[in-house]
Amino acid sequence: MFTIEKLKRDLETIGIKKGDTLLVRADLGAIGKLETRKREDYISFMLDAVGDEGTIIGLSFTGGFSIKKNKNNFFDGKNKSYTGAFANTMLSHPKAIRSAHPTNSYVAIGKNAKYILENHDENSGAYEPIRKIVELGGKMILIGCVESSPGFTTTHLAEVDLGLHKRIIFPTLNGAYYKKNNEIKLFKRKDLGSCSSTFYRFYGHYVKNELLKQGYVGNAYSILIDAKKAFDLDLKILQKNPKITLCDNPRCMLCRARRWDNLKDMPIYFIKYIIPRILRKVFK
């Protein structure tokens, strides 16, 4: 069992200071149990660590559709996030604000929350709040998900800035319906990120450039990085090796069948996975 005070000190030991702007991705289960047994206290210790002048930001992504559209399923700002308990706990905080992007909304609490999230809607790039975190001299931390959900979100922003998102075949097959001014509208995504399961490949570069701080938050192994330094290095790595984001999973549709720079895997993917799926439907 951990106290809020102990978890706050853990963050300080890793390198969190008062006034920090901090993007968090966290697996709350990995931290361990709280003495207070209150779910909202998984946020309280982070807010205590950054103080009144600080800001905490989370990814409250909602996904939407991929190929098959369903108008009954729309984003209205109240939807739960698929990213897990951390984002959903943040969303339920009384001081939380959320951006209006139909598939990739962010949630934030604190001094810079409004500035980071304003104008982030259907007309904005999915990763633009990250640019503001970079600009503000922010930090990014992974708590308990270093291996299970690898990497930092600056990598997706770097891909967009280098035009690498244009390698995804028909990105607008992905999107979402969303509610605005009492109307249900269709949003088609143009800046789909590449396969983030490959982002562990960036870790060696961060280590070599001495960008990572590490430690434990409760039981959760955690890493911290300066957002601007990570972003600058992500740009360099992706420029040098644009295919670093192609994974090895034969079943990964994004890597095997939706990349203009990897058409060679497409025939095998269709023969092994798509055609059998179609045949099963036909003969059902």
Least separation in angstroms between CB 238 and Zn ion: 16
Amino acid at 94: P
**Cβ-based neighbours of 38, under 8 Å, separated by 6 or more:** none
Region near Zn ion per CB under 5 A, out of 173-181, 191-199, 211-219, 235-243: 191-199
In the complex with Zn ion, the residue whose CB is nearer, 244 or 252, is 252
Is 144 strand, coil or helix? coil
Region near Zn ion per CB under 5 A, out of 8-16, 88-96, 192-200, 268-276: 192-200
**What Å distances lie between residue 111 and 47, 83, 161, CA to CA?**
11, 24, 27
Least separation in angstroms between CB 67 and Zn ion: 17
In the complex with Zn ion, the residue whose CB is nearer, 158 or 195, is 195
Pick from 252, 262, 266, 270 the residue near Zn ion by CB under 5 A: 252
Least separation in angstroms between CB 189 and Zn ion: 17
Q: Is 255 in the site for Zn ion (CB under 5 A)?
A: yes
- Please tell me the distance from the alpha carbon of residue 143 to that of residue 32, in angstroms, as a whole number: 11
In the complex with Zn ion, the residue whose CB is nearer, 66 or 214, is 66
In the complex with Zn ion, the residue whose CB is nearer, 6 or 243, is 243
Q: Is 212 in the site for Zn ion (CB under 5 A)?
A: no
SS3 string, 81-110, reads CCCCHHHHHHHCCCCCEECCCCCCCEEEEE
Strand-pair category, 139-143 with 183-188: unpaired
Least separation in angstroms between CB 252 and Zn ion: 3
Least separation in angstroms between CB 150 and Zn ion: 12
Contacting Zn ion within 57-76 (CB under 5 A): none
> Looking at the DSSP assignment, which residues form a beta bridge with residue 59?
106
Least separation in angstroms between CB 247 and Zn ion: 3
Give which of 244, 196, 205, 203 is closest to 223, Cα–Cα: 203
Pick from 90, 107, 195, 224 the residue near Zn ion by CB under 5 A: 195
- Please tell me the distance from the alpha carbon of residue 127 to that of residue 231, in angstroms, as a whole number: 12
Q: How many residues form the binding site for Zn ion (CB under 5 A)?
A: 4
Count of Cβ atoms closer than 10 Å to residue 283 Cβ? 6
Q: Is 94 exposed, middle or buried (0-12, 13-18, 19+ CB in 10 A)?
A: exposed
Region near Zn ion per CB under 5 A, out of 91-99, 110-118, 120-128, 241-249: 241-249
In the complex with Zn ion, the residue whose CB is nearer, 132 or 189, is 189
Pick from 97, 173, 247, 266 the residue near Zn ion by CB under 5 A: 247
List the 55-59 sheet strands across, edge first. 97-98, 106-110, 55-59, 21-26, 139-143, 220-226, 213-217
Least separation in angstroms between CB 196 and Zn ion: 9
In the complex with Zn ion, the residue whose CB is nearer, 30 or 195, is 195
Least separation in angstroms between CB 256 and Zn ion: 7
Percentages of the chain per state (helix, strand, coil), in multiples of 5: 40, 20, 40
Q: Which residues bind Zn ion (CB under 5 A)?
A: 195, 247, 252, 255
